[in-house]
Copies of this chain bind each other. A is one copy, B any other.
Amino acid sequence: MVNIKDVAKKAGVSVTTVSRVINNRGYIGKETRKKVEKAMADINYSPNQIARALQKSQSYLLGVIVPDSEHPFFAELIKNIELYAYKNNYKLLLCNSLDEAEKETNYIGMLRENRVDGIIMCSQTLDVEEYKKVDLPIVSFDRIMSNDIPYVGSDNFNGGRVATKHLVDSGCQKLLHLSGPLDLDMLPNRRSDAFKLVCMEHDIPYKIIEEEYSRDTFSFFEHHEKFIEEKVSKELLTYDGVFCSNDILAYALYIHAQKRGINVPEQLKIVGYDFNSFTRMLQKPKLTTVKQPVDRIGRELCSTLINMIEDKDGEKRNNTIVDIELIRGETT
């Protein structure tokens, strides 16, 4: 059976040129196009083969599935992924799962139909098994899916350790951790593990309260505010330090404390996680928090995926854990 190389040879042009004619991509002179089309007809390169060549050819599209692209953390992550993709001639197809399993499944189907070259997976609802079925390169953010799917994340364990250690060093004697849902095996759960360990090491009584996902509120702030009022408020005064799993939650806790006349940091110390664009814009208070280097995470997610797609040496297929940093603000 003839193939694209035979067409190139017959037409006296490169394989790339033939591919461009088939894909209608990039600039091709009229004469060259004619030559290639004549060669195809001459050696009887069939429609079916063209379809297959088209299928094989790269789309230079990357799918990115996030829970919510409006959230300051993901908005910043997406931008950084996009800027890196652009530099490497790739474009980004954006998908919001809103943490609904059905949407996530649909998106994966749509991305495959659109022949994306690979997927960056930052959403967190589906079982790992679902992803193993996808026969495309995948990189995941903050989640271990399988040995074949590399992940990128901040050093969540060290982040939890540094945050908790900072509360202990600041003199806290009873600690609370407000975590995300711990039922899925996400890497951010390591923050809670480290929290527990540091508390135990220092003989400090502690408690962890899990926040559930929910999207039925007016703003991200309100979601956390409701959680604090319903699940945290009553026992808050029995603690003198709180490690929050994200900055907006930390801000909601600070505002809640202010409303009740609880002095931060004198009576209650608060540490957040993220240092995203919202946190950086916020002036009152400047939050004490653990910085995830979102720019680097975005770059690593994108470069890992592109290396897999372009089948470069396995080197960059490794999982990547990027360093965190404690940012000292006014809440501790």
Contact = CB atoms under 8 A, between A and B. Distances in A.
A277 B281 CA distance: 13
Interface of A: 21-22, 24-26, 37, 40-41, 45-48, 50-51, 54-55, 59-61, 68-72, 75-76, 78-79, 82-83, 86, 89, 91-96, 103, 107, 110-111, 113-115, 218-221, 248, 251, 255, 277-278, 280-284
Contact of A21 (B51, B103, B284): B51
Contacts of A113: 25-26
A32 to B, nearest CB: 13
A94 B79 CA distance: 9
B54 A48 contact: no
Contacts of A51: 21-22, 24, 50
A281 B41 CA distance: 63
By CB atoms of chain B within 10 A, which of A25, A51, A78 has the most?
A51
B278 A255 contact: no
Given A47-B45, A54-B54, A79 B72 contact: no
Contacts of A40: 47-48
Contact of A220 (B83, B277, B283): B277
B54 A78 contact: no
